[in-house]
Amino acid sequence: MMSSEPEFVPDGSVTTPKGFVAGSAYAGIKTYAKDKWDLGILLSEKACATVGVYTQNKFVSPSVTLSRQNVDAGAVRGLVVSSGIANTGVGAQGMADAKETVAIAAAHAGLEPGEMIIGTTGVIGVELPMALIRSGIPNIEVGRDGGERFARAILTTDRAPKSAAVRFELGGKTVTIGGCAKGSGMIHPNMATMLVYLTTDASVERDVLSAALTDVVDDTFNMVDIDGDVSTNDMVVLFANGEAGNKPAVAGSAEARALTEALAVLCRFLCVELMRDAEGSSKIFTVRVEGARTREDARLAARAVASSTLVKAAIHGSDPNWGRAIAAVGYSGAEVDVDKVSFFINDVAIMEAGTPISFHREAVIAIMNNPEVSLTVKLGIGDGAATAWGCELTEEYVQFNSAYTT
């Protein structure tokens, strides 16, 4: 037995894997939530392989640009985060402030600047308060028990921190993957930035690590939709330090597959936590697409349904309005043969082979009144499958997001 099923570690976090330390401080940046940390540092005690995926938005934060450059250079083993201000849309000052923040944090941690990256989230168009950051970073004390405090330091208006870790056997050794996430929900008063930081003590070749992260993010965080907008500051970064002592997982190996699957288990959990935390939403839904011509077609169709304003409103009202979901599949860009499409709400068939079938409306409404609803579309023309997550559209969401920025 080379590997085992991943199991969740109670109270798991980014510091659950061996050799990672983290900490936080309050610098006064996140003034709307004074009881929350707004600076954090996460470090691997030893050198590690680090890979990332980043927002595709062309108005990218200099924090993301600098982090990408440093990750690509290959020496990164630390991260500083600041919540409350996005460091986006501030002209040339943005890169200068990102570099200075990284330099201060690296010096505090005893690292070179090229060994650190930076994540920022919050209001767009306001410069980072460097005086607060300069005085705040030296107050960060990192430790093996710092994962939970770090997870709180990346939040903006999230209702709760979102941390977890999974453990499994890999090549005869016990390895752990930890992670924390923030804010797929729309963040008042600005874009919903998604920050996800993942750590593992597994020994993994960098190429395997990169492929695993891209693959898992495409199936998880890229399939989460709350309001359809893409933030300027999104990033998902995975650190792997090899402290578990397993034989390095190489490309194409059973170990590489096991690691990817364990990472997917953790990321699916964090996705659901992100959806549950979305502002003004108490009900989430999954959209499962099967039988698509390709996996990419399945993703397109699932995302289109999950991000449809009309589907979200129907979920809110427990309205079995399957026409909206079917129409979203129709404009998704996925290949569709109308006469082969079937549609289910939970396990109740609503349409089969392109023709609606009678269903007990009150029973389906009762199902839809549950806090989690499952929609399944079977396209019947291939083997492509994907799952997307969405959340209801509520009156409270509109109230929350139409309030003044100040």
Active site residues: 193
Closest distance to a copy of itself from the beta carbon of 131 (Å): 20
382 part of the interface to a copy of itself, by CB under 8 A: no
Stretch that binds a copy of itself, among 77-85, 163-171, 173-181, 309-317 (CB under 8 A): 309-317
Q: Which is nearer to a copy of itself, 115 or 225 (CB)?
A: 225
Closest distance to a copy of itself from the beta carbon of 301 (Å): 10
From candidates 44, 50, 88, 157, binder to a copy of itself by CB under 8 A: 88
On the 0-12 / 13-18 / 19+ scale of CB atoms within 10 A, 188 is middle
Report the alpha-carbon distance of residue 52 to residue 202 in Å, rounded: 17
294 part of the interface to a copy of itself, by CB under 8 A: no
Length of the chain: 406
Closest distance to a copy of itself from the beta carbon of 58 (Å): 4
Closest distance to a copy of itself from the beta carbon of 271 (Å): 20
Report the alpha-carbon distance of residue 98 to residue 128 in Å, rounded: 9
The token duo for 69 is: 């450059």
Report the alpha-carbon distance of residue 320 to residue 361 in Å, rounded: 8
Closest distance to a copy of itself from the beta carbon of 113 (Å): 24
Structural element, H or E, at residue 32: none
50 part of the interface to a copy of itself, by CB under 8 A: no
Give the distance, in angstroms, between the CA of residue 150 and the centroid of all CA atoms in the same chain: 16
From candidates 95, 96, 107, 230, binder to a copy of itself by CB under 8 A: 230
Say which amino acid occupies 343.
F
Stretch that binds a copy of itself, among 97-105, 164-172, 254-262, 397-405 (CB under 8 A): 397-405
Closest distance to a copy of itself from the beta carbon of 289 (Å): 14
Residues 334-373, interacting with a copy of itself (CB under 8 A): 335-336, 338-339, 341, 351, 354-356, 361, 365
217 part of the interface to a copy of itself, by CB under 8 A: no
Report the alpha-carbon distance of residue 71 to residue 76 in Å, rounded: 6
Residues 122-181, interacting with a copy of itself (CB under 8 A): 123-125
In order, the DSSP letters of 63-119 are: HHHHHHHHHHHT---EEEEEEEE---SSTTHHHHHHHHHHHHHHHHHT--GGGEEEE
Stretch that binds a copy of itself, among 10-18, 96-104, 235-243, 324-332 (CB under 8 A): 324-332
- Answer for the pair 68, 62: CB distance below 8 angstroms, yes or no: no
402 part of the interface to a copy of itself, by CB under 8 A: yes
Closest distance to a copy of itself from the beta carbon of 368 (Å): 10
Contacts of 159 (CB under 8 A, 6+ apart): 277
Q: Which is nearer to a copy of itself, 13 or 281 (CB)?
A: 281
Stretch that binds a copy of itself, among 3-11, 112-120, 164-172, 327-335 (CB under 8 A): 327-335
210-214, Cβ contacts within 8 angstroms, sequence gap of 24 or more: 210/51, 211/251, 211/256, 211/260, 212/238, 212/256, 212/259, 212/260, 212/263, 213/51, 213/52, 213/53, 213/238, 213/263, 214/53
Q: Which is nearer to a copy of itself, 268 or 324 (CB)?
A: 324
Sheet holding 224-225, edge to edge: 224-225, 384-391, 284-292, 372-378, 342-345, 348-352, 355-356
Residues that bind a copy of itself (CB under 8 A): 56-60, 86, 88-91, 123-125, 186, 189-191, 227-232, 308-310, 313-314, 316-324, 326-331, 335-336, 338-339, 341, 351, 354-356, 361, 365, 393-395, 397-399, 401-406
